[in-house]
Structure 1
Amino acid sequence: MAQRARRWRSTAAAVTAAGLITAGAMAPGAAAAEEPRIDLKVLVVDNGDSPVRAVTAQLRSTGVPYTTIDLNDAGRPKITESFLSDTVNGSPRAKYQGVVLPNESPFGAGSAEQTALEAYERTFGIPQVDAYTWAHPEVGLDYTSEGGWAGALDGREASVTAAGKAGWFGYLDGAFRFEDNSASTQESYGYVARPRAGFTSYVDIPVPGGTGRGSLVGEYAHDGRRELVVTFAYNTSQQQFRLLARGIVEWLTQGVHLGRARNSFAVHIDDVFAPDSRWDTERNCTPGDFDCAGGDGEGTTPIRMTAGDAEYAAQWQREHGFTMDMVYNAGSGEEWKTQHGGTDALTDRLLGDKAQYRWVNHTYTHPFLGCVQDTSTVPWSCAKNADGSTKYMSRAEIAAQIRDNHDWAVNKGLPVERTELVTGEHSGLKTLPQQPADNPNLAGALADTGVRWIASDNSREPEQRAIGKALTVPRHPMNVYYNVGTAAEMADEYNWVYTSRADGGSGVCEENPTSTCLDEPLDLTTGYAEHIVPQEARTALGHVLAGDPRPHYAHQSNLAEGRLLYPVMERVLDDYRALFADNTPLENPRHSAIGTEVQRRAAWQNALANGRVTAYRIGTTVTVTAPSGTQIPVTAPDGTQKQLLLGTAAFGTPYAGARSAWTTPEALQSALTLKLPQSL
């Protein structure tokens, strides 16, 4: 943080040397010793283009409050001095701590609105992000015809400069590559140009076909203002933006803002101790499943981890510094033991290494906890009572499945939390189209057994919701199928799902508007490693880089036989650690912690949406008020102190070169007060 503090001081010194008024200095008409109030909110001027939308999405996911002005709305407010600033109790107030624009001059150079905005930025020292613009002298860059270049950036390697590493992009390790996911599609376009006086490049790239390096992201200090100039196009899902998004927000807010962002990755392994059915490559279905015509499970060998697989799992965790969540069915394991001579080396090995994993209740024998399934038809339907109402599993039966599994774990000394639950197939929750509502007995059973966090499928229900007094924890399904043990089986089923009928597939990809068919079927020998692994790892890493805390889930079958899940997890971990500096570790939270994080984020967004948060900075003091009991997310520089009833204490925990925390005012305090370092 010493380097970042020097950067703050040098910026302030440069602006002061120019005879200009900076944030924290007096405003026109104010007393000489008076500090202006700067509200901790961002102004976003939106023209509908993807770069502005991407920055806005990052503000929202971080928890930074913002106000949007839609340039395509004829009735929008006009940008005037009174819109941007006023006085509070006689003191000057800047209503926004930063401004996001689609380009350097969206209102037109010399227009009344542009003039008002620029005057505001000068007066209060407010930073401005130019979300995407071209290289020209008005943004501190040479034209690309003067030793620069413009064109597709797909697959090209960019680097964080020394200035970027010493400042707002110091959480990155250095180099990263622009995505190139399709040889037939241009994915990124940009302007690579040489900086002029007053421009500090933070991210650059070798000039293609030329000499030297040209900027893609940098700060232009001029005319008493500062602009972060981005000269490549992007959208919110592209990896290069997600890598830089944190730094853009930190620069925009100068490292002091509401909201916090941590990168995390958790993987749940469902069905531990239980066997999983196997995909039939001849019938293209899974024997034992209700929709597998003629399939009764005969002729296939179920997939189940061995003691060797368990030993490998524990070793892999140690080598990679990562903990998996073992989502277990103890009763299914006991049944397996009974059917196989009364012994089970797998259970013995997992219990021997029990402290190396986290354990999550998956019910005792993995039954369907929703409606009673009528399997006489395909697809199945919900059985009916005599009066025509839906027949559901009872509250007592659900509670017994949860309680028996938990009690078994306690008796075996597993580190399990009573509050956490993953039901088999996320059953009990509504399951469309057959069961459009939750099992009405589920909420009571959860209360009976002390469950507060119940997993749901993020692909069906991405938002957290209440089930009685419990809350859902949406999980991302990993596209490594539960019913395959080898790479060839995985590629075969993948081909069935993702190829057209003409190519021998199911054609589902042709009917589903959200799906894309493969150009040709994958090779059964190489398809998994060469196509599925990189694609699935990219998807999972995308969730991580977006700051999405939701866990991913796969199945015990994916740790057995060909051990298919490991290459995906390894790629996510290796890619992450290659991209980020040591000060930005990948966090690995458990189920309940993830549920708490999702809950806090939702409550925070609700408080912001209802206008119930007030936050501002005066000099080096930050004050925040929010509804009583609301956890407040704040990010601030190292050295920040939290005001206690008596004295102060260090604020937050370190991450990505700053400190952040969910926090509340202390007892008998009506507001949260933070004291920033004097160097600010």
Structure 2
Amino acid sequence: MGRRTRWAAACAVAGLLALAAPPTGTAFAASSPRIDLRLLVVDDGGPAVAAIANELDLAGTPYTRVDLGSASRPVLNAAFLATTTSSGQAEARYQAVVLPNNAPAGLSADELTALAAYEQTYGVRQVDAYTYAQPAVGLNWAANPGYIGPLDGTTGTVTAAGLSGPFTYLRGSVPFEDNDPAVTESYGYLATPLATQAAGASFTPLVTAPIPGSSAQGVLAGQYDHDGRSELVLTFAYNQYQQQFRLLARGIVDWATQGVHLGYDRDYFEVHVDDVFLPDDRWSSTAKCTPGDAASACQGTPAPSEIRMTPADVTYAQQWSQQRKFTLDLLFNGGGSDDAVAANGSDPLTTSLLAAKSSFRWVNHTYDHPFLGCVQDIATVPWSCGKDTAGNTQWVSESTIRTAVQKNQQWAAAHGLPVDNTELVTGEHSGLKTLPQQPVDNPNLATSLAASGVRWTGSDHSREADQRAVGSSTLTVPRYPMNVYYNAGTTADEVDEYNWLYTSTAQGGSGICTANPATTSCMPAPLDESTGYADYIVPLEVRIDLGHVLADSPLPHYIHQSNLAEDRIAYPVLDGILDRYSALIADNAPLLNLRESAIGAELKQRAAWQAALAAGKVTAYRVGGTVTVQAPSGTAAQVTMPNGTVQQQLLGTSAVGTGYAGELSGWVSPGLLQSSVSLKLSGAATPASGSAPSAGSAPSAGTGSSASSQPYVPNSLLAPVRLTLSGAAKLLGSH
């Protein structure tokens, strides 16, 4: 390209940039205020506000927390809430406000008035995280008809307005947990909207429940519009762990932000099946151990026994996957196949799995499942790290690690398995630190993984909950262990081991749960061997895993090939999760089923985004129907936007994310020659900017700011309540 041509191109680009630049100046600023994409969360230390803050954290949505219990907290006045930019444009610092209730005890009357004026002026919405039914929020007192008390076991119903509005991703029912009938797990105030509202005011129920002893429906969640403001009124107590909140969490944030915010909330479910081609050691019900497992202390010397899938199990897995439209990840050890062929001349399991290979995803689990950390000394139980004569820890060598990884890669290539060689899960997550015996990674691990092209390696979420680096080229992908044991192929074995772990020594158990009450809970009695799995273990595991799914977690869950064999005990749990999800969540929010590398990349992006938010390096705001987001170079922004939103490029527009839960969400980055992201909302989806209060009057801020007016919160909401046997029975009966 000649010099003249280059100059012409540069001038053309400059012209295009000028045309693409947003309008500036006093007239523009006066007509459209800047609304910063950040929430104000006023925290009274209660579980309801903590739950909403947790949802914002999980979704990657920025907020400013004001602690009402802090003597040094800022005063919520006009100067704190809004300012003016250097160009003279009015700037609202918060796009939504979350309060503990409509009139928190820790806020002064002046602060409540300032908040009300701010919300009215800028069209900012307010969430009353948990308030009692009262005329100040557009509801009758909870009497005649009304109800005040526990809501455990109640089933809420999303109204037509809720389904067409913020809760469009729900089927319609919102079941309240009743994990332990002996414990009050929730509490609420059911009442009807005022028949006659104040002038210009209205109340729209969004979620309701039957009022006991009445044919009327009481409000659990509703929109109260008054004085040019909108409040989301929630009349029930909850915490971040409860299913009823997790079902509504996404909608609460979308309502508050009017569907325009940073971050997103999606539902994921992946299942890794470890040890494919290998057998797994079987639990001994007589010796209360797993013969062949170095970590297992046996009572006696039982004969080893193994569990291995059969071709019939492969057929069942393939058919199940097709019927459920759900892909299992098979984590394979090629050495198990080679050993079977060497011993028998052929291996029907290998033949059947290779024939069905396109029905599954495949992940390297090392060739023969060696332990890749320190050299184990199994002379004691549990094992310890071997030492040399100088007392130094002995480590599995780099060559051993590389052979275990690369030989399995080669086996996959030789047998036509469609694998991604950047993915790995080592046997027992070995090589990574394993407390208490091995407090650091094997120093040979990182270089071995890098040499083998591994970028993502599985870790155990129960040991390490967060993604971390292993050397300079590999990141972990934490995995949730499921309480479907690797050494159980039958329900009898599973229940026997479960009873051993979760009953006291007086009841024939190990007493582990008695010795560690902070981490486990003893059952009051052993489970029945014939019914305990279906009646208790399955519903408990379904509830735990569905909690992960509804908490915006892309992390995979893992089981073992033994669980697909014999009694095929994994399927009742998997079916329970999928069936429960389908019954609660609409088709517009399908479960996302990602492979390990995609999960790892998602976690990496989230970490970069969260770091940028924490460092204050993200600027995001809306002016009219245009949203601007600026993040550090190379950091993609996480956004949720209404349908019809497009990203403005230098030339033309492009799509924003993908459709999910009735809106658009995804990662966005600046286009060519752009330093920031510019998103254009459709006219119908552009939130109103509010209107200034009339002279000489102030909008109503509600009443009842004394401590006695605060709604009741059961102590049980301060922590999760474990599912009991009786709670499981009620749960199963409700289906």
Cα displacement (A) at 1:299: 2.4
The one of 74, 77, 84 aligned to 2:74: 77
Cα displacement (A) at 1:174: 0.7
CA distance in 2 between counterparts of 1:68 and 1:342 reads 67
Question: Secondary structure of the residue that 1:417 maps to in structure 2?
Answer: coil
C-alpha change, 1:660 and 1:32, in structure 2 (3 Å) is closer
Q: Which residue of 1 aligns with 2:222?
A: 218
Q: Which residue of 2 aligns with 1:384?
A: 387
Task: Output the amino acid matched with 1:172.
Answer: L
Deviations 1:140-192 (A, max 9, x none): 10001131111211111111000001111110011131111111111111111
Q: Which residue of 1 aligns with 2:307?
A: 303
1:591 aligns with 2:617: no
Cα displacement (A) at 1:578: 0.6
Give TM-score scaled by structure 2 length. Answer: 0.87
1:325 aligns with 2:323: no
Cα displacement (A) at 1:30: 7.9
CA distance in 2 between counterparts of 1:590 and 1:310 reads 20
Task: Output the amino acid matched with 1:626.
Answer: A
C-alpha change, 1:581 and 1:179, in structure 2 (3 Å) is same
Q: Which residue of 2 aligns with 1:409?
A: 412
Cα displacement (A) at 1:294: 6.2
Q: Which residue of 1 aligns with 2:339?
A: 335
CA distance in 1 between counterparts of 2:28 and 2:491 reads 73
CA distance in 1 between counterparts of 2:193 and 2:144 reads 11
Residue pairs, 1:504-515, within 5 angstroms: 504-512=508-516, 513-515=518-520
1:108–1:114 contact (8 Å) kept in structure 2: no
C-alpha change, 1:115 and 1:33, in structure 2 (3 Å) is closer
1:325–1:357 contact (8 Å) kept in structure 2: yes
Cα displacement (A) at 1:528: 0.6
Task: Output the amino acid matched with 2:356.
Answer: D
1:393 aligns with 2:396: yes
Deviations 1:404-461 (A, max 9, x none): 1011111211110000000000000001111111000000000000000000000000
Q: Which residue of 2 aligns with 1:674?
A: 679
The one of 448, 453, 467 aligned to 2:451: 448
1:567 aligns with 2:567: no
2:38–2:95 contact (8 Å) kept in structure 1: yes
Task: Output the amino acid matched with 1:130.
Answer: D
Q: Which residue of 2 aligns with 1:418?
A: 421
1:344 aligns with 2:347: yes
Q: Which residue of 1 aligns with 2:659?
A: 654
C-alpha change, 1:262 and 1:652, in structure 2 (3 Å) is same
1:53 aligns with 2:50: yes
Question: Secondary structure of the residue that 1:539 maps to in structure 2?
Answer: helix
CA distance in 2 between counterparts of 1:670 and 1:476 reads 39
CA distance in 2 between counterparts of 1:480 and 1:386 reads 41
Q: Which residue of 2 aligns with 1:481?
A: 485
Cα displacement (A) at 1:369: 0.3
Cα displacement (A) at 1:260: 1.2
1:578 aligns with 2:583: yes
Structure 1 residue ranges without an equivalent (≥5): 1-28
The one of 525, 534, 556 aligned to 1:529: 534
CA distance in 1 between counterparts of 2:186 and 2:492 reads 34
Cα displacement (A) at 1:111: 1.2
Cα displacement (A) at 1:661: 1.1
CA distance in 2 between counterparts of 1:250 and 1:530 reads 37
Cα displacement (A) at 1:678: 1.3
Q: Which residue of 1 aligns with 2:139?
A: 141
2:332–2:362 contact (8 Å) kept in structure 1: yes
C-alpha change, 1:413 and 1:629, in structure 2 (3 Å) is same
The one of 288, 292, 295 aligned to 2:292: 288
C-alpha change, 1:293 and 1:516, in structure 2 (3 Å) is closer
Q: Which residue of 1 aligns with 2:706?
A: none
Of stretches 35-44 and 110-119 in structure 1, the one that deviates more from structure 2 is 110-119
1:372 aligns with 2:375: yes
CA distance in 1 between counterparts of 2:547 and 2:382 reads 34
Cα displacement (A) at 1:388: 2.1
Q: Which residue of 1 aligns with 2:255?
A: 251
RMSD: 1.4
CA distance in 1 between counterparts of 2:28 and 2:422 reads 57
CA distance in 2 between counterparts of 1:41 and 1:344 reads 59
**Identity over aligned residues, as a percent?**
57
Cα displacement (A) at 1:336: 2.3
1:65 aligns with 2:70: no
Q: Which residue of 2 aligns with 1:634?
A: 639
Question: Secondary structure of the residue that 1:418 maps to in structure 2?
Answer: coil
1:288–1:295 contact (8 Å) kept in structure 2: no
Cα displacement (A) at 1:110: 6.9
Task: Output the amino acid matched with 2:624.
Answer: G
Deviations 1:526-584 (A, max 9, x none): 00110000000110000000111110000000000000000000000000011011111
C-alpha change, 1:70 and 1:282, in structure 2 (3 Å) is same
Q: Which residue of 2 aligns with 1:316?
A: 320
CA distance in 2 between counterparts of 1:644 and 1:405 reads 45
Cα displacement (A) at 1:385: 2.2
Cα displacement (A) at 1:365: 0.2
1:615 aligns with 2:613: no
CA distance in 2 between counterparts of 1:260 and 1:385 reads 51
Q: Which residue of 2 aligns with 1:189?
A: 187
Deviations 1:474-514 (A, max 9, x none): 00000000001110110000000000011110000011121
Question: Secondary structure of the residue that 1:218 maps to in structure 2?
Answer: strand
Question: Secondary structure of the residue that 2:567 maps to in structure 1?
Answer: coil
Structure 2 residue ranges without an equivalent (≥5): 1-25, 687-735
C-alpha change, 1:367 and 1:133, in structure 2 (3 Å) is same
1:30–1:92 contact (8 Å) kept in structure 2: no
